[in-house]
Chains A and B, each alone.
Chain A
């Protein structure tokens, strides 16, 4: 079974402060991991995926297989980063679970001015 855990439901920081949104996963195979974001009054959209190894809007995430984590980080938070962030894992296994995306519970990030 695949599971994603985001331990923080709410996270508040001040503008310019570093931010880290935690994500841990449980999966027996080699996972595909993502961060999706939902800004106020917008639809859920992809922020970044580990396979791309890219930085989007200043955010990065490193897959740590030893700690089974995929934490999202940004060195200097901006007010426009305030949103709901979901960590998600997609199954690489064949059969009826292939491509199944399992989401964490989500973390609401608020960046104060």
Chain B
């Protein structure tokens, strides 16, 4: 029944490793997002996809690469992890790109880079 799910919930890894976070939504939405929440709880958008097409690509290091195999999935792959990548990453979805739409958030993935 979960609307937006993410795996894993926790991820602890060493600097320099490559890791992926998966996101799935079963709401039939067209648009999906990745957000980063830093240690001060500040939420910032990283990417948005609409019907598998990249729409928003904020100033994010190119070590971060999103991939949307279909409308229901948006994965985030991170290469050469750095200490500063430690954060909580949230996936979200909305019915469409329209600005008035509610966004539905996943539970978050807490990434710790040692």
**A residues apposed to B, CB below 8 Å:** 32, 34, 43-46, 49, 51, 84, 86, 90-92, 96-103, 105-106
Q: State in angstroms the CA–CA spacing of A32 and B101 once bound together.
A: 9
**B residues apposed to A, CB below 8 Å:** 4, 31, 33, 40-45, 48, 55-57, 90, 94, 96-108
Q: How many A-B residue pairs have CB under 8 A?
A: 58
Of A46, A99, A103, most B-chain CB atoms within 10 Å: A99
Within 8 Å CB of B104, what residues of A?
Answer: 45
A44–B105 touching, CB < 8 Å: yes
Quick one: given A96-B55, A99-B55, are A91 and B42 in contact (CB under 8 Å)? no
Within 8 Å CB of A92, what residues of B?
Answer: 99
Within 8 Å CB of B97, what residues of A?
Answer: 98-99
Quick one: given A43-B105, A98-B55, are A90 and B42 in contact (CB under 8 Å)? no
A100–B45 touching, CB < 8 Å: yes
A100 CB to closest chain B CB, in angstroms? 5
Known contacts A92-B99, A106-B43, then 6 further A-B pairs from the complex at CB < 8 Å, ordered by chain A residue: A43-B106, A98-B99, A99-B97, A101-B103, A105-B41, A105-B42
Q: State in angstroms the CA–CA spacing of A91 and B90 once bound together.
A: 20
A91–B99 touching, CB < 8 Å: yes
A104 CB to closest chain B CB, in angstroms? 9
B97 CB to closest chain A CB, in angstroms? 4
Quick one: given A99-B48, A99-B94, A100-B45, are A43 and B108 in contact (CB under 8 Å)? yes
Within 8 Å CB of B57, what residues of A?
Answer: 96
